Amino acid sequence: MADQLDLNLLRVFDALLREGSVTAAAERLHLSIPAASRALGRLRRAMGDPILVRAGRGMVPTPFALRTAPRVRSLLDEASALISADRELAIGDLERTFTIRINDGVAATLTTAAVEATAAVAPGVVLRFVAEGSESTEALRDGSVDLDIGAGDVTAPDIRSMPLYRERVVGIVRADGPLGGKRHPTLAQLCRYPHVSASRRGRGRGPLDDVLEAAGLQRRVAAVVPTSAVAAFLVSSSDYVGLVPSRLAEQYGRSLGLRWFPIPADLPEIEVCLLWHARFDADPAQRWLRETIRDAFEASR
């Protein structure tokens, strides 16, 4: 009869997938190597899959293990929250890695403040920031992402949201470029030069194009890049015009040799929110982190 999966075996599975090595997993879990090896054998029998297979000098997870890992991580997180729900959280002793999916324009102005605020009281906590690649909420549901920070509305009933701030989009040009001396360029002046569009979906059209069209104007988008940070770097070495979040421009514009200015148009503001899954509402560790991130945003304004 196949072995029954218990919580300890699931912890071994999670450690094996995180480390990709029986030795490293044993060290992570404070087990002997033979004990970790025996646990892997039990996992293989219980799941009917090799879990890890030899590849050269190392080991790699099987497709089944990769598909299963987020669900196992989610179960372990739920178990941890259940066990600790009624206990007072000792932040200074907390040892946990939180994965945070974040928009790069937000990351450029947040990560330092968030990391410093966290490390000051919880040196055992690791904040693992990952870039946006999809707006899917499945990563929050399956536990592969703990928190999601970015723009956009999410209406799923099991996803919680906390507004962090609102900001406007501003224009940027090279300070010593042809538009660098104009503090308030007109829409017509902006249309005389090529633009760079920042869109992770590869879109070259945005709200500004609707405004320009209504005014009988049209801009030429010469480049589409995936992030606001890349747009800022491109503008800093060209005569292109770019649109980026105001906080990014204010914090890094001078060091990149950029001049930023308000766009003379009624463009929608960006609302940046913090998202998490409902099952972590009562998790004291994640609740503390959410409050720490919120406070870090407030302090950095």
Using DSSP bridges, classify how beta strands 270-277 and 159-167 pair: parallel, antiparallel or unpaired: antiparallel
Query: E strands within the chain?
Result: 52-55, 58-61, 96-102, 125-131, 147-151, 159-167, 169-174, 195-198, 221-225, 241-245, 258-262, 270-277
Q: What integer pLDDT is reported at residue 51 of this predicted model?
A: 92
Contacts of 258 (CB under 8 A, 6+ apart): 172, 173, 174, 175, 232, 235, 236, 249, 252
Q: What integer pLDDT is reported at residue 84 of this predicted model?
A: 59
The b-or-e profile of 240-260 (16+ CB within 10 A means b, else e) is bbbbbbbbbbeebbeebebbb
Q: How confident is the model at residue 83 (pLDDT cuts 50, 70, 90)?
A: low
Q: What integer pLDDT is reported at residue 2 of this predicted model?
A: 42
User: Does residue 156 carry a pLDDT above 90?
Assistant: no
Q: What is the DSSP letter of 267?
A: P
- Report all structural domains of the chain as residue ranges with CATH numbers, in order of start: 7-84 (1.10.10.10), 91-166+270-300 (3.40.190.10), 169-262 (3.40.190.10)
User: Does residue 59 carry a pLDDT above 60?
Assistant: yes
Q: What integer pLDDT is reported at residue 224 of this predicted model?
A: 95
Distance separating alpha carbons of residues 91 and 122, to the nearest angstrom: 6
Contacts of 251 (CB under 8 A, 6+ apart): 108, 109
User: Does residue 256 carry a pLDDT above 90?
Assistant: yes
Instruction: Record the tokens describing residue 48, joined without a space.
Output: 């009917």
Mean pLDDT of 139-147: 83
- At 85, the amino acid letter reads A
Question: What's the pTM value of the predicted model, to 2 decimals?
Answer: 0.68
Distance separating alpha carbons of residues 275 and 95, to the nearest angstrom: 22
Q: How confident is the model at residue 133 (pLDDT cuts 50, 70, 90)?
A: low
Mean pLDDT of 12-22: 89
Q: What integer pLDDT is reported at residue 165 of this predicted model?
A: 86
Is-contact 2 48, C-beta < 8 A?
yes
Q: What is the pLDDT of the chain when averaged over all its residues?
A: 86
Q: Is 82 or 298 the better-scoring residue by pLDDT?
A: 298
Q: Count Cα atoms within 13 angstroms, Cβ side, for 70.
A: 13
Distance separating alpha carbons of residues 134 and 101, to the nearest angstrom: 10
Q: How confident is the model at residue 1 (pLDDT cuts 50, 70, 90)?
A: very low
- Degrees, nearest 5: CA angle 117-119-125: 120
Closest CA to 200 of 233, 163, 161, 229: 229
Coil, strand or helix: which one is 197?
strand
pLDDT digits (tens, 9 = 90+) for 182-239: 889 999 999 999 999 998 788 888 899 999 999 999 999 999 998 888 999 999 999 9
Using DSSP bridges, classify how beta strands 169-174 and 241-245 pair: parallel, antiparallel or unpaired: antiparallel
Query: Which of 1-10, 18-27, 257-266 is predicted least confidently?
Result: 1-10
User: Does residue 142 carry a pLDDT above 90?
Assistant: no
